[in-house]
Chains A and B, each alone.
Chain A
Amino acid sequence: MHRIEVDAEIDVLEANRRLAAENREFLKKHGITAINIMGATGSGKTLLIEKTADALGDKVRMGAILGDVVGKADYERVARHGVKAEMINTGKECHLDAHLIHHAIEKFNDVDLLLMENVGNLICPVDFDLGEDYRVVMVSVTEGDDVIEKHPEIFRLADVIIINKVALAEAVEANVDKMVEDARKLNAKAKIIKMDLKKDVGFDEWLEWLQEVMSKQNGR
């Protein structure tokens, strides 16, 4: 037996990129606007999907993919609102990837809008392109007003940054203006929405954005 050194040149993330491109092609072919919703556990992602389903359910054909480590609690919550939903359990993985979505999207070929709820954290989902059209990051003031500066990469690559639970800011001593400023420092182009889903703050702004991007996608 002897020792050899082999030049490998293997791009580890290439497989995900290739599958993401295939997903993107599928979504485009079927006229689907797909949105990857990322954010920590408890930031309000599932409630955002539920409320969007109620608001748009009879106007657009909406579907939702719910990514969670285990269980189907989120799936059950969303399915109750009458939208087509699919659960993806990732097991030990902390993010959705293009491969998991590849298997799931075939069931959504008849929807106009597909919301994909990623696994609850601000780190792992960043590096996995799912083939989505837009990336949304949701944080809540209860995570601390330094949450954005502590996770720069996910905010840098977002199309929309939602700061949720703003009605609780005073109670948890969070400075919402600082959070907006931190987001702006990292991302000059993202739409920033101050929201409180339980008080209906900022929700209209979200719906307007959704309708705007959907009409843009239809014209592509």
Chain B
Amino acid sequence: MSFAQAIVENVLKLAEEKGAKKVSKVLVEMGELLLINPEQLEFCFQVASSGTIAEGAVLELEFIKPHIECLLCGKRYDEPIAICECGGIIKVEGGKDMVIRKIEMEV
């Protein structure tokens, strides 16, 4: 819910600056490691935006994969683990950001 609230607050702030009457779509890039359930976030977004000019806006989510790589052999993984098959330490980068990329609004 706090993620949804933060999105709505930021969207409304920018929409106000642009003199928008209505927000119709919001594109958010989300790190996979935030482990956000998209349906839950969409539901919370609808709740948090109700009664505002962003009510009914479409929330589009784009998930960004983290970069997970063994420091020793360079093997890449999809899921974060600590130790590679070769015994090397795994480095995990990214996958925890949440960035509002685009907002579609009516002015």
Interface residues of A (CB under 8 A from B): 1-13, 15, 92-95, 97, 123-124, 126-127, 152-153, 156, 184-189
The verdict on B76 contacting chain A, using a C-beta distance below 8 Å, is no
Contact partners of A156 in chain B: CB under 8 A: 80, 82, 92
The docked-state distance in angstroms from the alpha carbon of A15 to that of B97 is: 12
Q: Given A3-B24, A4-B107, A188-B83, are A12 and B6 neighbors across the interface (CB < 8 Å)?
A: yes
> A10 and B99: CB pair below 8 A?
yes
Dominant secondary structure of chain B at its interface with chain A:
mixed
B64 within 8 A of A: no
Nearest CB on A from B12, distance (A): 11
Closest 3 CB pairs of A and B: A188-B82, A10-B100, A12-B98
Give which listed residue, A9, A93, A123, A188, contacts B100 with CB less than 8 A. A9
Do B34 and A4 touch across chains, with their CB atoms under 8 A apart? no
A94 to B36 alpha-carbon distance, docked (Å) = 14
In the complex, per-residue mask of B68-86: 1 if CB is within 8 Å of any chain A CB, else 0 = 0000000000011111000
Taking a contact as CB atoms under 8 Å apart, the answer to whether A8 and B106 are in contact is no
Minimum CB distance partner of B15 in chain A:
A6
Q: Please pick, from B10, B14, B33, the residue contacting A12 in the complex, using a CB distance under 8 A.
A: B10
Chain A residues within 8 Å of B99, by CB: 9-12
Residues of B within 8 A of A7 (CB): 101-102
- Complex: how many Å from CA A92 to CA B47? 13
B59 within 8 A of A: no
Q: Is B54 at the interface (CB under 8 A from chain A)?
A: no
Cα distance A73–B22 in the bound complex, in angstroms: 45
B107 touching A1, Cβ below 8 Å: yes
The tally of CB-CB contacts under 8 A between chains A and B is 87
Which one of A2, A11, A15, A123 has the greatest number of beta carbons of chain B within 10 Å?
A11
Q: Do A3 and B104 have beta carbons less than 8 Å apart?
A: yes
Please state if A153 and B81 are interface contacts (CB–CB under 8 Å).
no
Q: Which chain A positions have C-beta within 8 A of B96?
A: 13, 127
Determine if B102 and A6 form an interchain contact, defined as CB atoms under 8 angstroms apart: yes
Q: How far is the CB of B80 from chain A (nearest CB, A)?
A: 6
Give the docked Cα–Cα distance between A28 and B89 (Å). 30
Can you list 7 pairs linking A and B with CB atoms under 8 Å apart? A5-B102, A5-B103, A6-B18, A95-B2, A127-B96, A153-B35, A156-B80
Distance, CA A159 to CA B2, complexed state (A): 25
Most buried by A among B24, B82, B98: B82
Residues of B within 8 A of A2 (CB): 106-107
- Are B81 and A186 interface neighbours, CB within 8 A? yes
Asked if B43 CB lies within 8 Å of chain A CBs, one says no
Q: Determine whether B67 belongs to the interface, using a CB cutoff of 8 Å to chain A.
A: no
Alpha-carbon distance A187/B21, docked complex (angstroms): 49
A1 touches B21 (CB 8 A): yes
**Given A1-B107, A3-B104: A185 and B14 interface contact (C-beta under 8 Å):** no
Say how far A129's CB is from chain B's closest CB, in angstroms: 10
* B5-32 vs A, Cβ < 8 Å mask (1 yes, 0 no): 0110011001000100110100010000
